[in-house]
Amino acid sequence: MTDQKVEINVDEKREIDLNKEFDPIEKIVLLERENDLLLKKVEMLEASRKVEIEEKETEIRALKQQLEEQEKRWKNRQDFFAWRSMSWRKGRIKELLDRISELENKLSCMEDATAMKEQVGESSAVKEEN
């Protein structure tokens, strides 16, 4: 038997009747052909599964990247709102401290004015007594 390369159509639907009487060489050739067809089908299935797996892996990587980007955006938003809230609080605290300082100054002025009135009143009372 010589080695011959024969192109095999994998989609070939010819049935081989193994119950039919063949000479042993013809039976071996038919079985080898059947084996080759089955091997080709297996190779095609493996290749298609490999392509499907690669597509799924690509899809998973893309989804993972989208998730990471979404997490970054969410963290940036949280950081922004925390910063905004903190800066608002700091601004509000500064306003309140300024208001307190202003009120303390007014109180100090009022105390000074009251003290002056008392001094003027005392000096008037002293003058009236004299």
For 44-81, how does the pLDDT look when each residue is reduced to its tens digit (9 = 90+)?
999 999 999 999 999 999 999 999 999 999 999 998 88
Identify whether the C-beta of residue 23 lies closer than 8 Å to the C-beta of residue 54.
Answer: no
User: Mean pLDDT score of the chain, rounded to an integer?
Assistant: 84
Q: What is the pLDDT of residue 43?
A: 97
Mark 98-115 as b/e (b = at least 16 C-beta within 10 Å).
Answer: eeeeeeeeeeeeeeeeee
At position 92, the amino acid (one-letter code) is R
Q: What is the pLDDT of residue 4?
A: 47
Instruction: Inform me whether the pLDDT recorded for 22 exceeds 70.
Output: no
Residue 91: exposed, middle, or buried by beta-carbon count in 10 A (0-12, 13-18, 19+)?
A: exposed
Q: What is the pLDDT of residue 7?
A: 52
CA–CA gap between residue 111 and residue 127 (Å, rounded):
24
